[in-house]
Structure 1
Amino acid sequence: MPRVYKRKIGSRNYRNYTNERLEEALKNIRQNKLSIRLASEKYGIHRNTLWLKLKGKHNKPHGQQKVFTDQEENVFVVHIITMSDFGFPVTSFDLRCIVKCYLQQCGRKINCFKQNLPGNDWVKSFLARHPILTQRFAQNISHARAATDEETINKFFDHLEKELDGIPPGNIWNYDETNLVDDPGLKKVITRRGTKYPEKIRNASKACTSLMLCGNATGDLVPVYVNYRSQKLWSTWTENGPPNARYNRTKSGWFDYQVFEDWFLHLLLPILKRQDGPKAIIGDNLSSHLNIKVIQECEANNIRFIALPPNTTNLLQPLDVAYFRPMKIQWRKILDTWKESSRGSRYTTIPKEEFPSLLKSLMQTLEEKSSENLKSGFRKCGIFPSNREQVLNRLTFRNVTADNEVIRNVSDSFIEHLTKIRSDSTKTRQIRRKKRLNVPPGKSISAADLLNPQETANDNHVTVIDEPQPSCSYLPPPRPTAARRTNRHSDTSSECESEVPYEESDTSSGDGSVSSDECTAPGGKESLPATTEVHKAVGKYVVVKYEADYFPGRITRLQKTGAYVSVLMQCGKQWKWPPKKDEIFYRNDEIIMNIDEPVQRGTRELYDIPMMQNFI
């Protein structure tokens, strides 16, 4: 079958009339108002066609007939819709394979199909005959997001409706982070047929800049907050940007809890204070957003801080649902234009001096439909107007019910199979318990060492050490980070509450520095040095104890019941000072012993502390 049929010159036209026009002509003929010849001249339909329709002949469509009956094709449609409702949509190739399997089970041989496998043309014709089906790009969602069920959504809306009771739409705000990348994406180009890998000369990178956006249910937008990836901030990085925008920087480029606090206090809070009545801010449940200072300001100003359930931002985050996608589309267009210009083509990546002006152009482009998009996001998420059905109807599994007409036409075994697949895909993954092997260098081990470690320990010097297992089946065990040590003493004194926890992640750089993933806290051991009298003085180095872990540090302040100690963090077999000062109060019984001053090795700010080997 040709892809595009070309009618031969002089051949008869096929069906140049509508069904309504044909029925009207046949009605006049049956009522003896017109003869076949007169009706043919009046309605422009060939007289042979009118005669065949009156006799009930040649009712099949012209051209080659369909391979499958209407009933068979309807079964295919039903199964395709059911697969999509369960979260396993089929592709064009999947549909062709399904049809091939069906033909083999029926023992049929279709000559126009190569080895009984339909071609792409058949798929296009099949979709054209069934407009209820369409081809769309499928968005990949994680197993955790797929596990979101009606109970989670209903429980959220039960609490949300109480919290938003009496709050006007202008006082309901949603905040979220996003980033703008330095890559305008791929575009279709015209090139010679047969070219497999057309290339376009243009600089692009994977660099990105983080933004914080916030809007309310009436379409108002808070000024943009920009967070650069840098350790310093320069004046040229803040010029020619959007009105009232603020700028900050972190080493990782992401929002930590200090940057979030700065955004809240300097941009959002002044706006909320000018509003009358109760207010509500809705956002995801990231740990960097759960800031004590922010919560205290919310309580003092009648602001309700509402967190979304985990893994539901694609359903309940208005900015994610309706604002960020058009924003990213416009950003790619602006970036593409800039990189085509003589100025932009010279740079390998977007200079931070140029970013504010590009961001200003982006916000001006979005200004026309910004309010409409924000309102649509709140409406689609069911937040305002309050309507949980907006979210429940978007749950993949919710559309599959026993009363659904589609399901009644599908075999029970097929539904049972899909239900099992979805259950297996969304259930919590169990992690097998593991044990750490203490094997001397150069020694090998066997299965007997693992099965009977006590019997072979003396011969092979192999010991098995039980590792603590995570309380949650899919999360790693929490480590005693500096932030947790800070929170432990948050109620010791009022002065300690103002201490800034260390939460910012450290990424490895190209100069060979060690990343924060390798910087872990040492665990306590069974054999420790005997406790000795500690000489406490400012500047002295000591070992402090936090729960079952030990850390070296330097005394910075003294008090009667203890001292403030700034501790180091472990990097492999050495130690380093954390990027943010980790200084908290330790009681006298938590200061274990004095140690020698650490010895720096090389230029990477790593230190050797031999006396800490007794604690590792």
Structure 2
Amino acid sequence: MEIRKTNTTVRGPYRSNYTRDDLDNAYRLVVEENVSAQREAARWGVPVSTLKDRLLGNISVDTVKSGPMALFSSQEESFLASHIRVMGEIGYGYTRQETINLASDYAVNQGHRDRDHPLSLRWLYSFLDRWPELKVQKLRKLEAARARSATKENISRYFTELSNIMQKYNFQSSPQAIFNIDEKGLSTDVTPPKIVAGIHCKPQTVTSGKSQTVTMIAAVNAAGGSVPPYFVFPGHCLRDELLSGATPGTGGTVSETGWSNTDVFSTYMKTHLVRHLPSRSADSPVFILYDGHKSHVSLGLLEWARENHIVLFVLAPHTSHLLQPLDIGCYGPFETTWIRSCHSFLRVNSGKAIGKHDICSIACRVFNSTLTPVNILSSFTKSGIFPLNPEMIDDLAVLPARSFSRPTPAVSSSTGTLVQDTDDRLDTARTFLECRGGEVLRNVQTYKPRNTISKIVGGKVITDQAVVDRIAEHKKQHPEKRKADKEVGKGKKKSSGTTSLSTSSLLSKGNSAQNKSKGKGPARKKRNAPPPSTTFSDSFSDSATDDDEVCCVCGKFTPDALHRCDSITFVKWAQCDKCGHWVHLVFCTSVTVLRTHAAFFCPHFINSVYNLFGFHRYLCLKLLN
């Protein structure tokens, strides 16, 4: 059988390759200069029928595609697109449904629709096709403090100070001496990545669950080099197993919470980082940039840095998302790879959760694969530090700060930027959109400036003597609260907190366990809190109580039943509401527990009432209550 090859006809494009400007130019020349429509159509590459339909009024000039005409005119849609773009740039964008609701109200305001016929999702996607500069994007969270502080003025002052210190020590010619330090919290409870699965199932993934955070401190320089990571584990003792699988040079320590603090950061600088810094002198020091967290600013660290020819420079407050190299180009890829590595670890080691002994080995592999010279060099370039270039900070990045300024700016329909528009001839469309945007901007709450350490060190060289003096004066005026004072300030009532223990060598552990057993309930009125003693007392003890207070029944601090006890035993105490004496609960009275706000009378007071009036003890309690 003969197989014949059929000719395939390929249809050409639906219309010629012309733009909207070509059509507008041809239409304008024919109307204004009265030239031939056929000649202008050939000149601009526009079909003759297309141009003549618009000249005869059969089709609107604004129509650039086949099908039904758009709901809004070209100018009205321009106002709407500009408003949506500006609101997204300042951090108060609209979701898809909110955009549809806005456009529906806009159409009602312009008389194109009634409220019973709102727009649909189909209109939204057609609108996005007509305006390719708009698209649906995933939001990035931006704290109000960052949005408020990242102003053009603050960033300009930061780069001015940075430029002065760069010129003073000629750091632009020695990128290996410019370092950036930042912390990164590592959690095993990560958001699982997307996977390939069947269409009829809802896939699940096994995770490690919630765990304590491990902090990684990293340092990189403008030449593309990096310092081995330094880990801060939660706990009280640094075991060798915690650093198993680490790359050479990796260090670590422990803290109570796993987060960095003043002591941890000072130890990192003095024992770990200093070994990897280049040679330095008074004429050619090392330049280190980091954020202004209070753990980074201590007088002892500043004095050590000056003695070791290290210049410490603090970024402008709440601008690390724009100015810190590690945040800009390194920790993003690190976080993505960390999530994938944790997911892969759980799949390979099925049935085993990620423990703190596995974090170091996983993090070191991720560190080596993401903090590469290419990423590090790109981070310093995008932050404008090396080479020094303030223009690297995009104006769009500081637009959210405009919403915190007063007076509220208006929306320009031509540029889509925030300007002070005083034109009295605004049409209804622009007025409507300005009112909608103005309501959002007027709802932004003004903030009360706080007198924090970041106001002093932000954007400055903190090793200068003038800044050091201001830091010392601030710390003198605002001393750090003790941990006990902070808990009292949260609403916990002061009370005596001494506990009798039978084993004196474990007193400190008993104190920790007792504080945990208190829970979050309301503080009792001097009930189960025992009196202070020279043997053991915590920071919540009332100074008005005698140090030699003992039980009013047995006359001792520790009950006789616990003298030969080898385990930790907590003794509950209670104070009499009448005579103020303390007594052991359970051991020296029949009362075992006290309710909140319940009255308590010690056996010493009850016996005195019985001896005075001759009442039965039961009647004494009834009368007293």
Q: What TM-score, normalized by structure 2, do the two folds share?
A: 0.61
Change over 3 Å in CA distance of 1:117–1:512 after alignment to 2: farther
The residue that corresponds to 2:444 in the other structure is 425
- Structure possessing the higher relative contact order (Cα contacts under 8 Å, 6 or more residues apart): 2
* Cα distance change, pair 427–20 in 1 and its aligned pair in 2 (3 A): closer
Contact 2:193 / 2:339 at 8 angstroms: preserved in 1? no
2:13 is matched with which residue? 15
Alpha carbons 2:87, 2:93 under 8 Å: kept:
yes
1:380 to 2:382 alignment: yes
1:213 corresponds in structure 2 to 218
- Maintained 8 Å contact 2:533/2:548: no
What is the CA-CA distance between 1:95 and the residue it aligns to?
A: 1.0
- Give 1:283 deviation, angstroms: 1.3
Deviates most, 331-340 or 306-315: 306-315
- Please name the residue that 2:189 is paired with: 183
How far did residue 106 of structure 1 move? 3.0
Q: 1:316 to 1:339 in 2, by over 3 A?
A: same
Task: State the Cα deviation string for residues 216-242 of structure 1 (Å, max 9, x = none).
Answer: 222211110011112222222222212
Opposite residue 270 of structure 1, the aligned amino acid is: R
- For residue 541 of structure 1, what is the aligned residue in structure 2? none
Q: How does 1:581-592 map to 2 (within 5 A)?
A: none
Structure 2 CA distance for partners of 1:300 and 1:417, relative to 1, 3 Å:
farther
Aligned to 1:298: 305
Residues 163-172 or 253-262, more deviating? 163-172
Q: Secondary structure at the match of 1:62?
A: coil
Kindly indicate whether the alpha-carbon contact (under 8 Å) linking 2:230 and 2:252 is maintained by their aligned counterparts in 1: yes
User: Structure 1: which amino acid aligns with 2:102?
Assistant: I
User: Is 1:513 matched up with 2:516?
Assistant: yes
Aligned to 1:158: 160
- Gapped runs of 5+ residues in structure 2? 1-7, 27-36, 403-408, 451-477, 487-508, 524-530, 551-556, 560-566, 582-625
Alignment partner, residue 130 of structure 2: 129
Q: What's the CA shift for 1:190?
A: 5.7
Shift of 1:97: 0.4
Deviates more, 1:284-293 or 1:221-230: 284-293
Matching residue of 1:281: 288
Q: Distance in 2 between matches of 1:102 and 1:89?
A: 17
Contact kept in structure 1, 2:193 and 2:340, CA below 8 Å: no
- Give the equivalent residue in structure 2 for 1:224: 229
Judged with a 3 Å threshold, the aligned counterparts in structure 2 of structure 1 residues 239 and 311 are, in CA distance, closer, same or farther, namely same
Per the TM alignment, residue 351 of structure 1 is displaced from its structure 2 partner at its CA by: 2.3
CA distance in 1, matches of 2:568, 2:105: 66
Tell me, yes or no, if the aligned pair for 1:153 and 1:392 is still in contact at 8 Å: no
Q: How many Å apart are 1:315 and its aligned residue?
A: 2.1
CA shift digits 1:221-276 (9 cap, x unpaired): 11100111122222222222122101211221111222111211122122235246
- Aligned alpha-carbon RMSD (Å): 4.7
Q: How far did 1:15 drift?
A: 3.1
Aligned-residue offset at 1:478: 7.5
Report how far residue 83 of structure 1 moved: 1.6
Provide, for residues 135-174 of structure 1, a one-character-per-residue CA deviation record: whole Å limited to 9, x for no partner. Answer: 2212222222221133333333333332333223321211
Kept in 2: contact 1:281–1:306 (CA 8 A): yes
Q: Which amino acid aligns with 1:170?
A: Q
Query: What stretches of structure 1 of length at least 5 have no aligned partner?
Result: 1-9, 35-44, 432-476, 486-505, 521-550, 556-565, 576-590
3-state SS in 2 of match to 1:72:
helix
Amino acid at match of 1:324: Y
Residue 242 of structure 2: aligned partner: 237
Counterpart contact for 2:190–2:339, Cα < 8 Å: yes
> 1:395, CA displacement in angstroms?
0.5
SS at match of 2:248: coil
Task: Assess, with a 3 A threshold, how the Cα gap between structure 1 residues 50 and 104 changes in structure 2: closer, same or farther.
Answer: closer
Note if contact 2:38-2:48 (Cα within 8 Å) is conserved in structure 1: no
What whole-Å deviation, never above 9, does each CA across 1:475-499 have from its counterpart, x for those lacking one? xx977417999xxxxxxxxxxxxxx
**1:395 and 2:398 correspond:** yes
* CA distance in structure 2 between the aligned counterparts of 1:483 and 1:271, rounded to whole angstroms: 38
Out of 328, 337, 343, the residue aligned to residue 336 of structure 1 is 343
Task: For 1:324 and 1:364, locate their aligned partners in 2 and report how far apart those are by CA, in whole Å.
Answer: 12
Relative to 1, partners in 2 of residues 1:419 and 1:75: Cα closer, same or farther, differing over 3 Å?
A: closer
Q: Distance in 2 between matches of 1:479 and 1:219?
A: 38
Q: 2:327 aligns with which of 320, 329, 341?
A: 320
More strand by share: 1
Rounded to whole Å, the distance in 1 between the matches of 2:81 and 2:513 is 54
Superimposed CA distance per residue, residues 426-468 of structure 1 (whole angstroms, 9 cap, x where no aligned partner): 512699xxxxxxxxxxxxxxxxxxxxxxxxxxxxxxxxxxxxx
8 Å contact kept, 1:178–1:210: yes
Write the distance in 2 (CA, Å) between the matches of 1:138 and 1:202.
27
Q: Secondary structure at the match of 2:345?
A: helix
Contact 1:392 1:398 in 2 (8 A): no
**2:274, 2:245 → 1: CA distance?**
24
Contact 1:85 1:396 in 2 (8 A): yes
Q: Which residue identity lines up with residue 330 of structure 1 in the other structure?
A: T
1:375-402 CA-to-partner distances (Å, cap 9, x unmatched) read: 2222322322333343362202478789
1:316 shift after superposition: 2.1
- How far is 1:515 from its partner? 8.6
Aligned partner of residue 332 in structure 2, secondary structure: helix
8 Å contact 1:242–1:359 — kept in the other structure? Answer: no
What is the letter of the counterpart of residue 265 of structure 1?
A: K
Provide the residue aligned with 2:416 in structure 1: 406
Retained in 2: the 8 A contact 1:163–1:304?
no
- DSSP-derived class of the 1:395 partner: helix
How far is the alpha carbon of 1:326 from its aligned partner?
0.6
Find the aligned partners of 1:254 and 1:190 in 2 and give their Cα distance.
36
Q: Does 1:346 align with 2:354?
A: no
8 Å CA contact 1:173–1:216 kept in 2: the answer is yes
Matched with 1:143 is 144
**Alignment partner of 1:272 is 2:277:** yes
Q: Distance in 1 between matches of 2:125 and 2:209?
A: 38
**2-structure distance, mates of 1:358, 1:479:** 36
- Distance 1:415-1:261 versus aligned 2 partners, 3 A rule: same
Q: Distance in 2 between matches of 1:201 and 1:398?
A: 40
Structure with the largest fraction of helix = 2
Cα deviation for residue 68 of structure 1 reads 2.2
Moved more, 218-227 or 311-320: 311-320
Q: 1:334 to 1:144 in 2, by over 3 A?
A: same
Instruction: State the 1:178 CA deviation.
Output: 0.7
Find the residue that maps to 1:346 and give its secondary structure: coil
- What secondary structure, in the 3-state scheme, does the structure 1 residue paired with 2:227 have? coil
Match of 2:94 in 1: 90
Show CA shifts across 1:5-41 (max 9, x none).
xxxxx999573564169x9xx9xx968xx9xxxxxxx
Distance in 2 (CA, whole Å) between partners of 1:484 and 1:163 is: 40
What letter is aligned with 1:291? S
- Preserved contact between residue 222 and residue 267 of structure 1 (Cα < 8 Å): no
Query: Aligned letter for 2:279?
Result: R
On the 8 A contact 1:600/1:607 being kept in 2, the answer is no
- Which of 151, 154, 176 aligns to 1:170? It is 176
Q: How does 1:454-465 map to 2 (within 5 A)?
A: none
Query: What are the equivalent positions in structure 2 for 1:4-153 lying under 5 Å apart?
Result: 15-16=13-14, 18-19=16-17, 52-53=49-50, 55-56=52-53, 61-109=65-113, 115-148=116-149, 149-153=151-155
